[in-house]
Amino acid sequence: MTDPTPRRRALLSAYDKTGIVELATALSDLGWELVSSGGTAKVIAEAGLEVTPTSELTGFGDMLGHRVVTLHPMVHGGILADRDDASHQADLTEHGITPIDLVAVNLYPFTSDPSVELLDIGGPTMVRAAAKNHEFVTVLVDPADYEPVLAELRNDGDVSATTRRRLARDAFAHTAAYDSAIVEWFDRGADGGPGELPDRGVLPPTIHLSAARAAELRYGENPHQHGARYSFSGDSCWDSATQHGGKEMSFLNVYDADAAWRLVWSLGEKDPAAVVIKHANPCGVAVADDITTAYQRAHACDPVSAFGGIVAVNRNVTHEMATELAPVFTEVLIAPGFDDDALLVLLEKRNLRVIEAVAPEVPSLDVRSIDGGLLVQNADSVTIDRDAWQVATDRSPTEAEWVDLELAWKVAARVTSNTIVLVKDGQAVGIGAGQQNRRDAGRIAADKADGRAKGGACASDAFFPFRDGLDAAAEAGATAVIQPGGSIRDEEVIAAANEAGMAMVFTGERHFKH
């Protein structure tokens, strides 16, 4: 161990006191001098350790309701001094400043209750100063790093340059995330921020994304790619999810399961609902009086595509549903809960990932990467409003048709465009997804329905450019159609619907999804 003379100095100022007494004790045992402020100094002193309050360094007590505590050259000169620069050393000597070798700081929990008084100033300033001078100073912002740093001090007498650089990187990431949360608060304006901002468009003028790696994934989109899940807030449905069994999740497992989870909850909570997803698109959707029937009907939409799919349900999985699903090769089953006897059945399937999660939040922004930047839009939301919709045909839908139209419209909004969705009695019976033309999407949906759409509803995510799409829906057996409208050939399409005795509703809103 290196000679502890002159004594090294650590500055400890932590809002989260987890592990702070243990850190202070270990540093003291190693011969370090402790400097601290406010509540941290009190906690350390109560543990029987010698600690110098920052007020003794600065000559000032806490000021302005604790807004000014450590903002002083006696503190920041000690943190920022370049030990190899003779002029820096001269300044320290002239002003009687002692170098600070370790800074352990964490910040006011701004996101817990955003307000001006929780905007930390002194904390981020010390963190950034220490991180800038990481060649000489160790900066700690995460209690999880206390023990590894102490281990290096005990074993080697110092903290390695590699560790100091890693901790400096983490410190700047910490303050960046903190600032990102503050910017988001300002952007919320009247909806929870500090007040209305000047109107600079619906979307914010800048976007500050800060996400922490929350989970390593089995692999990326393909096995040769690395994959990980990152979290913006740390409190999403994925952060709190429990995996009861099965292999590790891959990139596509999470991507598809998220699509399934969002879709099943977008159908509403009134009725038990089940969704089967394959390659981010639904290949089965159904609502029913019980969750087992809902799953059976969702699977029946397209059993071939359901092989190796993702299943999401909005009710606890029962033993009956588990026994129905068990014989089907399924990658992921995600639900709000599982009955104990259902888990016994499901956990026998070693490859089935069994996920328990809370309902997902509705995102405010949809962000996608492009070369050198991002494409950003406000997230698409589906409005179900019969009063706002227009019945374009001579005949209005029956109540049963209305119910199927609403379900078909919700599903169509979550299927890759171009899409046609056929629904009958609360069950999707045919889904044509991601086609370059609407006619092919309709043909695929009709082929999959195989006569089951008779008397049901057809949804198109965008308008029919020609009457052939409407004719195809009629040939599939649909008696009601829902679409945005807005084509220059709307009158032609309306006429075709009237000829077939169909009811057609215009929503005035398109739901492309790419």
Domain assignment of residue 469, given as a range: 390-506
DSSP 239-303: TS-EEEESSPP-HHHHHHHHHHHHHHHHT-SSS-EEEEEETTEEEEEEE-SSHHHHHHHHHHH-H
- The residues annotated as belonging to the active site are 132, 279
Confidence of residue 3 (pLDDT cuts 50, 70, 90): very low
Closest listed residue to residue 9, CA positions, set 97, 116, 87: 97
pLDDT surpassing 60 at residue 352: yes
417 and 346 in a single domain? The answer is no
pLDDT of 268 reads 92
Cα-based distances in Å from 326 to 257, 333, 334: 18, 10, 14
DSSP 316: P
263 and 336 in a single domain? The answer is yes
Which tops the pLDDT comparison, 304 or 193?
A: 304
Of 40-44, 204-208, 269-273, 351-355, least confident by mean pLDDT is 204-208
48 and 148 in a single domain? The answer is yes
**How much is the CA Rg of the chain, to the nearest whole Å?**
30
Average pLDDT score over residue span 63-81: 79
pLDDT surpassing 50 at residue 261: yes
Tokens of 466: 């020609």
CA separation for the pair 99, 165 (Å, rounded): 19
CA separation for the pair 40, 180 (Å, rounded): 26
| Number of structural domains found in the chain | 3
The enclosing domain of 269 has a CATH number of 3.40.140.20
Which tops the pLDDT comparison, 56 or 353?
A: 353
**pTM score of the predicted model:** 0.86
Confidence of residue 194 (pLDDT cuts 50, 70, 90): low
pLDDT surpassing 50 at residue 1: no
Answer whether residue 129 is part of any domain: yes
Confidence of residue 191 (pLDDT cuts 50, 70, 90): very low
Mean pLDDT, the chain, whole residue set: 91
Answer whether residue 130 is part of any domain: yes
Average pLDDT score over residue span 276-288: 97
pLDDT surpassing 60 at residue 196: no
Among candidate residues 182, 202, 229, the one where a domain is terminated: 182
166 and 296 in a single domain? The answer is no
First CA to last CA distance, the chain: 61
> pLDDT tens digits for 107-137?
877 777 777 877 778 888 999 999 999 999 9
Average pLDDT score over residue span 244-266: 96
pLDDT of 193 reads 55
pLDDT of 207 reads 85
> pLDDT tens digits for 314-343?
999 999 999 999 999 999 999 999 999 999
348 and 424 in a single domain? The answer is no
pLDDT of 200 reads 52
249 and 152 in a single domain? The answer is no
248 and 295 in a single domain? The answer is yes
475 and 328 in a single domain? The answer is no
Answer whether residue 200 is part of any domain: no
HSE-CB of 424 using CA atoms within 13 angstroms: 20
